A and B are shown apart, each in its own frame.
Chain A
Amino acid sequence: NAGVTQTPKFRVLKTGQSMTLLCAQDMNHEYMYWYRQDPGMGLRLIHYSVGEGTTAKGEVPDGYNVSRLKKQNFLLGLESAAPSQTSVYFCASSYDGGANVLTFGAGSRLTVL
């Protein structure tokens, strides 16, 4: 039972390059989330999804796009990477948006030069 799997775990990009982070969960969860974690800033919500085919903006959505074409996958895209997007990205999922706990992936460390 894998839980939440993020790929890749590490990536180095040059400014202006694009990339996609993949999050996959095998728990049949409806809700999925993308967070970024920066020193001294805690975790901040980028985008989230309440079900297949739906997405919504979080606290810091600018510069990112997401898609949820399949229930088990939630993709985070950077169209034109900037140094300010250097961060550790975490995906999480939950059965619903209320009473149940979040399950987190191990994180993806992205460096933009």
Chain B
Amino acid sequence: KQEVTQIPAALSVPEGENLVLNCSFTDSAIYNLQWFRQDPGKGLTSLLLIQSSQREQTSGRLNASLDKSSGRSTLYIAASQPGDSATYLCAVRGNQGGKLIFGQGTELSVKP
């Protein structure tokens, strides 16, 4: 059974810092991995999707990497801003059944 873990559960950084959020998964037979952002009381917004054949994806100040063999993904946020404060979730889609399995998220707070 696929399990997805995100550590830490919460992170607080000063504005301007570069930071890395971690996601690990137990079964390396994945189809793709997605990173989402969730603002308080809101739904999830897809940030980046990495296919199993890819190593990384970039969008603006965000860079997501994928290492299937070690069961890890990282989300790198450059030059963090207070507007980046949110909960970030990763989700893995397996080869069988295609269902997304979510991690519990990392709550990020960027202080001005």
Contacts and interface: CB of A to CB of B under 8 A. Distances in A.
Contacts, number: 52
B51 interface: yes
B31 A58 contact: no
Interface residues of B, number: 23
Given A104-B43, A106-B42, A107-B42, A42 B105 contact: yes
B32 interface: yes
6 contacts: A40-B104, A97-B98, A98-B93, A99-B31, A102-B34, A104-B44
B55 interface: no
A45 interface: yes
Interface of A: 4, 33, 35, 40-45, 48, 58-59, 90, 92, 97-107
Contacts of B89: 42-43
B99 A48 contact: yes
Contact of B43 (A59, A99, A101, A107): A107
A43 B98 CA distance: 16
Interface string B23-42: 00000000110101000011
Interface string B82-112: 0000000101010000111011110000000
A98 B31 contact: yes
Given A42-B104, A101-B49, A106 B43 contact: yes
